[in-house]
């Protein structure tokens, strides 16, 4: 099992295409043993997953397995075997598999190791390392099978496991961040027609920023928020907004209903706070987009590798939560129709206002240009935002003066 550390070292040799030998006698699977392991997986505690992965690998004719999960900031891949060191996302074979969501095969100690991405829907969880003395088509399929199985297991168990949450952290979480993170959805959600992905920094010190996205049948709902202040009270206000939006959405409310519920809830429960935000509703079948902007920077539309200015601008509306004489009237919902491949970008002001040591802002042009160039280079949306937030952190030497949140969604209907 020690191969997990050595694989991160320089000098491993990538194998571009595994040999495809015919299935020999060892291609047979002991189905009863596999059934036992799958039943065991249902009740296995999260810290027992490394041992279970090894037993499953052996049942499939592979030598051993290691599970690595990505850390909260998507910079390290951390083994569930606590004796092993993390691997860097940016310069390792494991990281390559994570970044590209593709298998990576490397030679190691007279055998090969297959790095399989662990993915839940559109969400990247980490990688699975499978060691085998020889690789053929059968073992490659079984490696994929095992990666799918453990992605589902990890997803189901991390909802209640403090151990899994702790393994993916590299420092202590502050209370406002802990509270808000309990509300946050996965970084990435999506379907065959659309995908939405988001990042939020500083990961362990967030206070008032948040994002939300959800797929309801063929409808993608997205939201970005920026609450007044940078303390626990700001986090409480944001939490009320997120809970109110979800209550209305899950009760079948349309965009107007959701915004009204948010306004009323925040004015009632946090009357001394307000929150800016943008809520969007995308019909993933038709491309029709509705949005409401409540005192927030306007969304940006990226089409054919260019920002299409003004398309998602709208007359200013007050922030959420204003009561009494300042209460807004009827909220205005705006509509447009996207084209295939269009991207919509939501962000908080902490992104464009991030300054370097000389006081120069990151700026809107640099922000959009980074996304356009990375997307044009073939990067997936989740990887584009991972690279972008790293660039923003580097610019401020990991000391953000304000929360920085970015949400990017893309409409990509299938061509028949």
Beta-bridge mates of residue 126: 69, 118
* Exposure b/e, 65-75, CB count within 10 A at least 16 = b: bbbbbbbbbbb
pLDDT digits (tens, 9 = 90+) for 163-209: 999 999 999 999 999 999 999 999 999 988 999 999 999 999 988 89
Q: Mean pLDDT throughout 289-300? A: 96
pLDDT at 357: 75
Secondary structure class of 60 (helix, strand, coil): coil
Residue-wise pLDDT for 313-329, tens only, equals 999 899 998 876 677 77
pLDDT tens for 239-269 read 999 999 999 999 999 999 999 999 999 999 9
Nearest one of 324, 307, 224, 238 to 274, comparing CA atoms: 238
pLDDT for 5 = 35
- CA-wise closest residue to 114 among 78, 64, 153, 71: 64
Q: Residue 211's pLDDT is what?
A: 97
Q: What percent of the chain lies above the pLDDT cut of 90?
A: 74
28 has pLDDT over 60: yes
pLDDT band at 17 (very low <50, low <70, confident <90, very high): very low
Q: What is the pLDDT of residue 295?
A: 94
Residue 35: per-residue pLDDT: 85
pLDDT computed for residue 48 by the predictor: 95
Residue range 393-416: mean pLDDT, rounded: 85
What does the pLDDT read at residue 129?
98
16-20, 165-169, 283-287, range with the lowest pLDDT: 16-20
How is residue 194 written in tokens? 């659309």
Q: 314 with 308: CB under 8 angstroms? A: no
Between the alpha carbon of residue 306 and those of residues 67, 138, 366, the distances in Å are 40, 44, 13
Give the per-residue pLDDT at 43.
Answer: 92
CB of 95 closer than 8 Å to CB of 88: yes
The pLDDT tens digits for 132-169 are 999 999 999 999 999 999 999 999 999 889 999 999 99
pLDDT tens digit sequence for 43-60: 999 999 999 999 999 999
Strands (E), 150-244: 188-190, 194-201, 209-216, 219-227
Among the listed residues 286, 284, 278, 287, the one whose alpha carbon sits nearest the alpha carbon of residue 312: 278
- Answer yes or no: are the C-beta atoms of 244 and 278 closer than 8 Å: no
Q: What is the pLDDT of residue 20?
A: 41
User: What is the 8-class DSSP label of residue 361?
Assistant: B
pLDDT tens-place string over residues 211-247: 999 999 999 999 999 998 888 999 999 999 999 999 9
pLDDT at 381: 95
Cα–Cα distance, 239 to 232 (Å, whole number): 10
Burial of residue 179 (CB within 10 Å: 0-12, 13-18, 19+) is: middle
Q: Is the pLDDT of residue 271 over 50?
A: yes
What is residue 354's predicted lDDT score, i.e. its pLDDT?
A: 78
**Residue matched to tokens 């061509």:** 415
Mean pLDDT across 34-45: 89
Stated pTM of the model: 0.90
Q: Which has more confidence, 346 or 22?
A: 346
- Of the two residues 367 and 416, the one the predictor is more confident about is 367
């Amino acid at each position: 099992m020690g191969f997990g550390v050595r694989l991160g070292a320089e000098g491993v040799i990538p194998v571009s295409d595994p040999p495809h030998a015919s299935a020999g006698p060892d291609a047979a699977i002991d189905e009863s043993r596999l059934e036992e392991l799958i039943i065991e997986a249902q009740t296995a505690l999260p810290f027992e997953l490394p041992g279970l992965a090894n037993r499953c690998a052996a049942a499939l004719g592979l030598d051993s397995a290691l599970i690595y999960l990505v850390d909260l900031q998507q910079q390290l891949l951390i083994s569930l075997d606590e004796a092993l060191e993390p691997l860097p996302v940016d310069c390792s074979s494991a990281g390559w598999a994570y970044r590209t969501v593709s298998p990576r095969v490397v030679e190691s100690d007279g055998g090969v190791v297959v790095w399989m991405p662990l993915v839940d829907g559109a969400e990247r969880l980490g990688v699975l390392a499978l060691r085998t003395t020889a690789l053929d088509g059968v073992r490659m399929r079984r490696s994929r099978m095992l990666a799918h199985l453990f992605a589902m297991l990890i997803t189901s168990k991390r909802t209640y496991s403090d151990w899994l949450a702790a393994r993916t952290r590299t420092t202590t979480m502050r209370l406002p961040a802990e509270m808000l993170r309990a509300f946050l959805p996965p970084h990435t959600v999506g379907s065959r027609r659309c995908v939405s992905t988001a990042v939020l920094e500083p990961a362990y010190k967030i206070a008032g920023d948040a994002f939300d996205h959800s797929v309801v049948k063929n409808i993608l709902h997205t939201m970005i928020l920026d609450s007044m202040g940078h303390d626990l009270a700001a986090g409480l206000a944001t939490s009320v907004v997120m809970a109110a939006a979800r209550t209305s959405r899950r009760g079948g409310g349309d965009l107007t209903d959701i915004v009204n519920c948010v306004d009323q809830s925040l004015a009632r429960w946090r009357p001394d706070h307000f929150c800016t935000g943008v809520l969007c509703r995308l019909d993933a079948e038709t491309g029709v987009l509705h949005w409401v902007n409540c005192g927030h920077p306007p969304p940006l539309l990226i089409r054919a590798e260019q920002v299409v200015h003004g398309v998602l601008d709208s007359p200013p509306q007050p922030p959420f939560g204003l009561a009494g004489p300042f209460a807004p009237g009827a909220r205005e919902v705006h509509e447009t129709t996207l084209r295939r491949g269009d991207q919509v970008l939501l962000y908080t002001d902490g992104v464009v206002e991030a300054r370097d040591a000389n006081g120069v802002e990151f700026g809107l042009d640099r922000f959009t240009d980074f996304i356009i160039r990375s997307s044009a280079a073939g990067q997936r949306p989740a990887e584009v935002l991972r690279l972008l937030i790293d660039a923003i952190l580097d610019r401020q030497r990991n000391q953000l003066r304000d929360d920085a949140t970015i949400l990017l969604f893309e409409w990509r209907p299938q061509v028949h």
